[in-house]
Structure 1
């Protein structure tokens, strides 16, 4: 029964409950006025009759004595009594919902510009330190209890595919969303639900298979990657070039270098990539065009909707030459 009230309150808004309550009061006032005029009693007696009728108490001490009065009574009963039942259920649901939120810990304060991690997988334990170093303000929604996760990471325990659980993580206010899972099915369901709730928030999904990552890209979640691709390609390159893996790790973890994605400015359009590289005083690693990664081997010409992937010393903003 408490779950029914909680679900009812989620479906019926506070404004609807207030509207129903106001409509019931209006019907009782009109009914009391008509009853008092047609039955020749005071307005207070008419209001007393309307209240006892709408609340279905019906003492019987005040009743209509003519046909007009009976029509007024039937109209009042057919309109106000069903509305009163819905309004009383709404107010009861509101009270129960508030208590359930306190019991279930659903009164978490809203946060902004944070990282949301949805789901759990063994990979998450290994990547959490790096994620938290880049995003100190983070929240995780996990089926695991908070005792199995870092103490400094706020944890919302529950199903990351459930809308009521996701609502507590303030997905539309998040800067980014990372989706992980022990299976591709879990990642797909979580990512789709998160995208439905926060369509404008970037979602980075880590799947196990390339097919699942491509499915998410086809659904509009372009920041999806298959872990088997990352591991497989890195391992293959390491076998052919033993220091390739060390190079990738050093590139990503060096405090003296920073990877950065920037949008193309209007005055860059039409320039060759090598010309822009000199202007930015940076190393351009790739151009992202229509979700495709273009390597700078043939120095492509910059287009308006391109995104540039840079490697340069960490510094705020663009260099003066590029601005």
Structure 2
């Protein structure tokens, strides 16, 4: 009794569509084989009987094989009564599973199974612009968007939506954060600047706690939280308040339509900034000589990064050292 109960429990643990598939196949094989035995003249082979069972039970009814004896017709009636209900339940279950899967995806409930993807935290106009830029530069890069304010997925190619709190481990596990390439945290537009920064840092701590090696870029709105973001392990801190103010002041001072130039800084335009290690042939050369050499490769030398110090447009006599990194604008 215990063994039979165990078997029943094991059977019931199978997904419903698996069980229905096995039952329908069993009905087709059994009734098809029986019909080939009962009416061998009309169904010369077992395959003919199985073919008749499939056509009949699916309600297609080609009419190429028809039982003629009373026994054969009785078997056919029994198969239709028993089988049609299971076939209907089978197709209804498959349809329901497909609809449920689609709803699960649209509502952000389906986990992401890919690897080497970019996790984008927060949905706003900045996030939308970043997605377009990234897909223009790397069209096959998978992006996982995590947001708890969206109710349905923004239908964008290569973007997988996860609805939930990004400071929750379960949400990050759905995004497969352990196999991600990087994470970008945008400031929450629904909070004030201080609360938005505190929330972003909390998300950063959660990301680093789950995957300490994850490369994290965070947007900070206030100066006094920048140090906390650095202590929390941010690999790159974007101080959007400084960038915006600098661009606005530069536009005012230039008074000559610099906003069109700023739009060209978008990687989607075909040009992008890169930080490159210094090659052996550039060590010891001046900024002027290095600029001329890089121009031959259609790259513009913008500045030099030396440790924590960054120099943009240094003096032409500034000497390049072995441990420096070159900031270039290239395509």
Q: Normalising TM by the smaller chain, what interval?
A: 0.5 to 0.7
In the alignment, is residue 143 of structure 1 matched against residue 145 of structure 2? no
Q: Which string of whole-angstrom CA distances, capped at 9 and with x for unpartnered residues, describes residues 230-267 of structure 1?
A: 21111111111122222222243574534322122344
List runs of 5+ in structure 1 lacking aligned partners.
Answer: 1-102, 315-323
In the alignment, is residue 180 of structure 1 matched against residue 186 of structure 2? yes
1:292 matched residue in structure 2: 309
Q: Which string of whole-angstrom CA distances, capped at 9 and with x for unpartnered residues, describes residues 257-305 of structure 1?
A: 3432212234433332222222332311122222332113214322333
Deviation at 1:159, TM superposition (A): 0.6
Deviation at 1:139, TM superposition (A): 0.6
For 1:304 and 1:248, the matched residues in 2 are separated by 32
- Work out whether residues 120 and 181 of structure 1, in 8 Å CA contact, stay in contact via their aligned partners in 2: no
- Work out whether residues 201 and 232 of structure 2, in 8 Å CA contact, stay in contact via their aligned partners in 1: no
List runs of 5+ in structure 2 lacking aligned partners.
Answer: 1-103, 189-195
Aligned counterpart for 2:225 among listed residues 209, 212, 231: 212
Change (3 A) 1:127 1:290: same
- Work out whether residues 183 and 216 of structure 2, in 8 Å CA contact, stay in contact via their aligned partners in 1: yes
- Work out whether residues 117 and 182 of structure 2, in 8 Å CA contact, stay in contact via their aligned partners in 1: yes
Runs of 4+ in 1 over 6 A off after TM superposition: 103-107
Change (3 A) 1:237 1:199: same
TM-score (norm 2): 0.56
Deviation at 1:140, TM superposition (A): 0.9
- Work out whether residues 273 and 302 of structure 1, in 8 Å CA contact, stay in contact via their aligned partners in 2: yes
Change (3 A) 1:265 1:174: farther
TM-score (norm 1): 0.57
- Work out whether residues 146 and 155 of structure 1, in 8 Å CA contact, stay in contact via their aligned partners in 2: no
Deviation at 1:148, TM superposition (A): 5.3
1:257 matched residue in structure 2: 271
For 1:311 and 1:180, the matched residues in 2 are separated by 24
Number of paired residues? Answer: 211
**Corresponding residue SS for 1:246:** helix
Deviation at 1:131, TM superposition (A): 3.7
Deviation at 1:175, TM superposition (A): 2.3
